[in-house]
Structure 1
């Protein structure tokens, strides 16, 4: 049995191998490794024609070479395009250690009969903590206060009433999207004393009530929330879900946080919303173009907190991701049902009449 651990400089190949060795009966698996350049180099689209995958790192050529004789691959960002599947028909299964395997052409995987598993929730704690951090940083002007003091300026004027920040205690915070990350954010906000509104068509009122949040439609959430944080998955349904019309619904001076996906937000109206005061604060960890170009309109804009896509960057996330992927690979090799199937082929694993 030959397995490829296709890691990078966050989820290193060695983490995959270690996690595989911890699985029962897999300590003798022959593991080869491949290391992609992410995050020292940004991820991006890879492929051509009708088979282009997103947020991938590495080349099709390097992956094809590394897959020689491999039945199972554990990865985070390796680019699995139709070309890769065509070149390696012996490949049977891919365990992708991220919440959505956007680096895999799932339709091509199904055509090739390759099962694809994913790792939902692997960075939920990290991303939720980071979102709360962005809220506090934006509402309380922590980054600009730090920068000004380091530059030798004592900004006592930030204590003036018109310049003072806002508390989460007593605030109404709207969460757009209520998956694993959103639910942790809501729990933390409740501890702060905030009222939490949720807009998510896939959440029911019973779940919301049990969690102590109020389920509302998106427009109602925007009208009522002094802080809005985005936590939806990027799909055709959610792309551009917050644009100029939605920004106009916010209370004057509201704060907006996006640590989910850049495509959820139309970045074009943001400078004007900041200029008019419709947005009192903006905190971003993701962007429509990553990294933002040198002439990005929000460079140097007031009341903006911007970080380079770091929400999931914790060591615990890397270890957790490797363990989840290794667990899926182990289930596949034992002929068991996968816990987190991502394509139709994966859903047949472990069913009657199907073996690995």
Structure 2
């Protein structure tokens, strides 16, 4: 392996909660930890003379145009092993090595169930009412015997389904490529997309985002849901057509929605979902746990130190990292 020049400037982007510096030992590494979020010219200026960039999930996109304007960039470390806003082909074109890190699906599974329970039992509304001097109003949805529709049965969706079984729920599953065997292995029954939305009391989304799934939940799907049914999205915000979602909430067709992922992120101050009724909104907390951050940032440090030591890069994601 040919010698590598030592990294002189490492930029870690978008550490909104100042988590990175406490989650790993960065000693000896020339890392600058940034807590703000920049785009366009400001982002280019920040990265102009960086040798390495550390990305926290998909908070900032590294596009082909941006990568072409950063001739000094040698290494990108993305937390996790997939990043849809990082152009791996362009990294290869420019000889930029890309590494990933380990991560756990359990934090998003846990948050999904926190949101389902909060929606079903109207916990935020009841808590606020109590603080205002009131007492219980209305009745929540019991989950035992209710139907849970799981859209997507990857690691996270399968974990959510397992907990649904423990609650005594009937499970339906659907995705564009779902098989009856995969659904059955998760304790669910394969359903069509229309049937999943029509028959479920709670629908939870765990699909990847791409051209085929952007807006895959729209007015037709929301209109097919049982009156008062609940929608939870801890996958990707653009899976759901926001205007159709807001209309379904305002009409009362949808009993409530809990949304953890948004576009853009951070959410714009005037985003209309902020004022939609019967919503629980969280700022993309699915993966945000102390344990996951340790995996992320210890993995990033491992890759950065391996680069400086001239040793094999861990968890390579492109050809340039394997050379």
Could you tell me which of 252, 272, 296 is aligned with 2:247?
272
- Residue in structure 1 matched with residue 111 of structure 2 by the alignment: 130
Cα RMSD, aligned residues only? 3.1
For 1:204-223, list aligned pairs within 5 A. Answer: 204-223=179-198
Q: Does 1:14 align with 2:15?
A: no
- Residue in structure 2 matched with residue 63 of structure 1 by the alignment: 47
- Residue in structure 1 matched with residue 122 of structure 2 by the alignment: 141
Aligned equivalents of 2:77, 2:22: Cα separation in 1:
14
Q: Does 1:35 align with 2:33?
A: yes
Q: Does 1:174 align with 2:154?
A: no
Aligned equivalents of 2:62, 2:267: Cα separation in 1:
23
**How big is the shift at 1:313?**
2.3
Q: Does 1:75 align with 2:55?
A: yes
Q: Closer, same or farther in 2 for the Cα pair 1:300/1:233, shift >3 Å?
A: closer
Q: Closer, same or farther in 2 for the Cα pair 1:74/1:294, shift >3 Å?
A: closer
Assess if the C-alpha contact under 8 Å between 2:249 and 2:276 holds in 1.
no
**How big is the shift at 1:144?**
0.3
Q: CA offsets per residue over residues 186-242 of structure 1, 9 Å max, x none?
A: 122121111222222345443332232233332221122110011112111110010
Give the match's secondary structure for 1:181.
Answer: helix
Q: Does 1:320 align with 2:320?
A: no
**How big is the shift at 1:179?**
2.0
Q: Closer, same or farther in 2 for the Cα pair 1:177/1:328, shift >3 Å?
A: farther
Aligned equivalents of 2:189, 2:74: Cα separation in 1:
44
Aligned equivalents of 1:245, 1:14: Cα separation in 2:
46
**How big is the shift at 1:138?**
0.7
Return the structure number with greater relative CO, CA threshold 8 A, min gap 6.
2
TM-score (norm: length of structure 2): 0.82
User: Aligned residues, how many?
Assistant: 311
Q: Unpaired runs of 5+ in structure 2?
A: none
TM-score (norm: length of structure 1): 0.75
Aligned equivalents of 2:306, 2:181: Cα separation in 1:
33
Aligned equivalents of 1:12, 1:295: Cα separation in 2:
26
Could you tell me which of 262, 272, 275 is aligned with 1:299?
275
- Residue in structure 2 matched with residue 311 of structure 1 by the alignment: 286
